[in-house]
């Protein structure tokens, strides 16, 4: 949705394409960090709060900016970008709600029973 909002904001005469581009880059960087398994290597940074803050800030900025674009612009690309921006803001808000680190409970690590079963013990 960030990419769709970026394309629509870019096609419109509004100057709000930077927000979608920055959020798209931040999302790609966090995805790359998780793909390279950086969280265990960098325990100094709390990755749960980092992802939560990225989602929360992105949701608020997308909702505010998209509402401004929908109210002030009358071109089709601007309105489409605003709609995609609102959808992206809602999804980022839901992602922030899911990834809130204080909501996630800590569970005990599994014991060796699983591995003993596969080793034939």
- 9 falls in which pLDDT band (50, 70, 90)? confident
C-alpha triplet 7, 55, 6: angle, nearest 5°: 5
Residue-number span of the structural domain to which 37 is assigned? 1-103
CA gap 65, 114 in Å, rounded: 50
Inform me whether the pLDDT recorded for 24 exceeds 70.
Answer: yes
Number of domains in the chain: 1
Lowest mean pLDDT among 10-14, 36-40, 44-48, 51-55: 10-14
Mean of the pLDDT values across residues 51-58? 90
- 21 falls in which pLDDT band (50, 70, 90)? confident
- Name which of 9, 29, 95 is nearest 58 in CA terms: 95
Question: pLDDT, tens digit, for every residue of 73-120?
Answer: 778 888 888 898 899 999 999 998 988 877 766 565 555 555 555 555
108 in any annotated domain? no
117 in any annotated domain? no
Place of tokens 């599994």: 110
What per-residue confidence (pLDDT) applies to 30?
Answer: 86
- Name which of 90, 34, 19, 27 is nearest 54 in CA terms: 27
64 in any annotated domain? yes
Mean of the pLDDT values across residues 29-40? 86
109 in any annotated domain? no
- Name which of 35, 32, 16 is nearest 89 in CA terms: 16
What per-residue confidence (pLDDT) applies to 89?
Answer: 92
116 in any annotated domain? no
CA gap 80, 42 in Å, rounded: 40
CB 99 within 8 A of CB 55: yes
118 in any annotated domain? no
7 in any annotated domain? yes
């Amino acid at each position: 949705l960030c990419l769709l909002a970026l394309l629509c904001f870019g096609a419109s005469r509004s100057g709000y394409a930077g927000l979608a581009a920055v959020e798209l880059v931040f999302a790609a960087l966090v995805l790359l960090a998780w793909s390279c398994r950086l969280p265990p290597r960098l325990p100094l940074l709390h990755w749960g709060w980092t992802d939560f803050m990225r989602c929360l800030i992105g949701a608020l900025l997308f909702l505010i900016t998209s509402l401004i674009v929908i109210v002030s612009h009358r071109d089709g690309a601007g309105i489409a970008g605003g709609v995609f921006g609102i959808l992206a803001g809602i999804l980022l808000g839901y992602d922030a709600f899911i990834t809130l680190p204080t909501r996630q409970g800590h569970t005990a690590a599994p014991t060796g029973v699983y591995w003993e079963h596969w080793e034939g013990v």
